Structure formats: C-alpha cells, structure tokens
Chains A and B, each alone.
Chain A
Amino acid sequence: MKLVIIKYNAGNVQSVMFALERIGINAIVTEDIGEITSADKVIFPGVGEASTAMNYLKERNLDEVIKKLTQPVLGVCLGMQLMCAYSEENDTPCLGIFEERVKKFVPTQKEEIDGIDDLNFKVPQLGWNSIYNLRSPLMTNVKEDSYCYFVHSYYASLGEHTIATTDYIQPFSSALHKDNFYGVQFHAEKSAEAGEQILKNFCLMPQP
C-alpha cells in the first residue's frame, strides 16, 4: 500500500509519520501531485493558520487536486478544517468537501457549577476530551467516549457528515466523513490507543 502524507507549510507531518511507523506503515511525505494522485491513501495533516495554509495549497494547485481525489483521504486537525466549506479564521473559504462550517470558540467562564469544579473554558481547547456518537468505518473498534488529544481554537459545527461528537463550550464535530473523505479534529497521531485504532482503520479502508 502506498500512503502519502501531503507536505505543506504546516506542522505535525513528522508526528503523523512516526505514528504510522508505529503501526507498521511507511508513509511518503510529498507535495508532488503525481505522487499524491497515484497513492492508495492520502493523509492531509496540519497545524497552523487557515488562510496561510489555503494560499499555500492554491499556489501549488493542491486545492483542486485534493478535492478530486477518489482514494480514502484523511484530514487531521487543520487538515480537517480546510476540508470544510468555510473557516472563520481570517474569513477563509476552504475546500468545501464537507458542508460544515468552521467557527471560533468563544472563551467562557462559569465558576463552581454543582460545586465540584469550575468550567473555565480556555481557548484553544488543549488536552484530552472524549468522542461519542461514533459512526462510520473510521471508528470501527473505537469505544464510545474514548479520549483523544485536541489542540484547536476553531471547531467544525455539527452536521450530516458528523461521525464523532465532542463537547467543549458546545458540542462540535470531532470527526467527519463524506464518501472517500474523512477528517478528525483531534491529533490521532498523539491520541494513544484510540488514535492508533483510527489510523489503523484508515489504513485498512478498501480501495475504491
């Protein structure tokens, strides 16, 4: 199997590559269009800012290339957000693969609810939170309420393509799926067993 990680000016490419190595997959990191379109699976990672990343993709025509891919594609973190219709981050039109829109978390502070703990919502959400209402083959053998590692200030709203939900300030899409396209908001590459299972599921997806 040939798995390609799209290289662009965003972080976590290395971490995704190492995580795949841990489950026995050697990935190719490239921005070469021929390599990407001929791959069996494509991972679209990302840490960074939406408009800068979109511009980078457009300059290389990678935006059109990604939209037209027919093999399984997995967006991670910013990668998933860029697969949505639009991001509030610097008012950025995105790839439009998923109709969901990406909004900014508004920090809130609600002290001492039921006397146990404050609910002090900082932005970004940083740390482990649970994913629930799991569906889609991407979530095979992933338990309801598994914990995954999140770092993000923007979130995709819930919609018809939501395949996992997480609560932070409000419920949002922690994973999306439409046709051959998948996206996870959390860092699957850093999400312990649950993340490894999701990466394995993606790698085992049947070819079209």
Chain B
Amino acid sequence: MDQTENKNQVDYSSPFWGRGGQLCKRIIPCLDIRDGRTVKGVNFENIRDAGDPVELASIYAKEGADELVFLDITATVEKRKTLSELVNRVAHAINIPFTVGGGIGSVQDVSVLLANGADKISVNTAAYKHPGLLNQLSKEFGSQCVVLAIDTKQEEDGNWYVYLNGGRVKTETKCFDWAKEAVERGAGEILLTSMNNDGTKKGFALDITRRLSLNLNVPVIASGGAGTMEHFADVFKDGKADAALAASIFHFKEIGVPELKAYLHGQKIQVRL
C-alpha cells in the first residue's frame, strides 16, 4: 500500500481519518480437535505430523492467518486435560490470537483454558441452556474473550433458528433474538455457522450474517460454505462480516491463506498482508 508519502502532513484535527488505515477483515482457519489431535485430513507438504495441531497452527500463523479457532470435539470429560495441555503448547508456539471452543460449560472450564494461554473461548449449547453463563464469563474474564458460537438453520418459513448440540437439536428460538440477548449478557463476538451452507462450498449465508453484523455492536465471524475466494469477498462486502472462518478448504490446500489475502486486497478489502 502506498501510504508512505505525506506522512508528516497528517491532519490530526481530521474528524475521521489520519491517513486511511483501517481495521482489517480477519481470515480464521478452524482446526477440529479430538483427543488432542487434528481430525480432518490435512494435505500439506513438508508437514511432519499432520495430526499435530501445534504444527498445523504454526504453519497457518506463518502463512498470515489472523487468528485460529480450535474446536474440541472430544466426547469425554476425562480428555479435557488433554485439551488444556494442547492449549498450553499452542500458546507457546504461535504469535497470533486463538480461540478454543467445544464442550465448554463452566467458569472453571474457561479459567483453565485462559490460564493455559487461550485468548478467547467460545461457548454454544451450554450458554443457550444457561444464558447466565455469558454474564458470569464476561464479568469474570471480560467480554473480549467470550465468543458465542451459534449454529443456525433457515427453515422453510424463511426464519433462521438456533440449533444445539452440534446441529442435532432444533430450538424454536430465532438466531437474531438469541444473538441479541447474548450480546446484552456479555458475549463479545459471535461465531455464526449456517448449517444450510456448511459443507456446500457454495458460499456463506450472506443475509443472516449481514443482519447480525449491522445490528449488533460486536464482531461477527461468518462460518460455513466457503468454497472459493470470491465467497470470502462476498461475505465481507455484502455479508458485512468482520471475519470469515473455514476449515477444509484451508486444510486441503484448495485455497491458501496468502493467495486469499492477495485476492481480497485486490478487491479493495482491507486485510493484513
């Protein structure tokens, strides 16, 4: 970016800009974790252990990912210790922020993960069932580290509903209503996954993402449906997302983080290069 000229003539009295810098849209690879190992197949060259989340995380960080999300799908409580150990190893290894989610249900769970170096945690079903958890977490640790994950599906009536337990259980609550309540209770960010779009590679759900992003004063991370680089441009421009998350297209190297960012930059979308 050619912003180096006139750097001594910044108009500090300008009501708006110094010189055109802007908060970047974030690209977030998501790693699914089971028993401390990455789940989805990974197709990287020069990777010694494709199942090691730390090694994969380090590669993404070097490639310019802005943040990472680790989603733990470990079924049993006994394995939670494995997760906190993993978080500790990740926190030592990477120099960008990361979020840990999956099965988090208490202040104690969160305390352990943050103490091991997680920057944020995400809660989903437990927060829906006990919304006071959001108040507790934001009071205890600050809203900045509380991400509310919502799995949502558009039904035939045209409305988007909240689903729980990884999308297996339908509720009668509308996505926007829950997101709004959650923000009022202290959620600092929304991770919005459209079940209609997830896995289709046909693009993100632009309308619900846009609705949440324009009407809530917290960042919205769009998730589900990424298949091409154009899909990311669409979700930033039309969906007004603050960040976009994807898993398999990054893991299988269908799209690389550096080429995606170069493309978005070409589309005049502010990204960290």
Contact = CB atoms under 8 A, between A and B. Distances in A.
Interface of A: 11, 14-15, 18-19, 21-22, 47-49, 107, 109, 116-120, 122-130, 132-133, 144-145, 147, 149-151, 158, 165-171, 187, 189-193, 195-196
A interface majority secondary structure:
mixed
B16 A170 contact: yes
A49 B24 CA distance: 25
Contacts of B22: 119, 129, 167
The 10 closest A-B pairs by CB, nearest first: A171-B18, A147-B272, A128-B24, A167-B21, A130-B21, A128-B272, A167-B18, A151-B144, A190-B97, A129-B23
Contacts of A49: 142
Given A122-B217, A170-B15, A127 B91 contact: no
Interface string B44-76: 000000000000000001000010000000000
Given A127-B66, A132-B18, A171 B268 contact: no
B162 to A, nearest CB: 22
Given A120-B214, A147-B272, A167-B18, A18 B97 contact: no
Interface string B259-273: 000000000111010
B interface majority secondary structure:
loop
Nearest to A22: B95
Category for how many chain B residues contact A: 35 or more
Contacts of A127: 23-24, 26, 66, 219, 242-243
Nearest to A77: B144
Contacts of B18: 132, 165-167, 170-171
A176 to B, nearest CB: 15
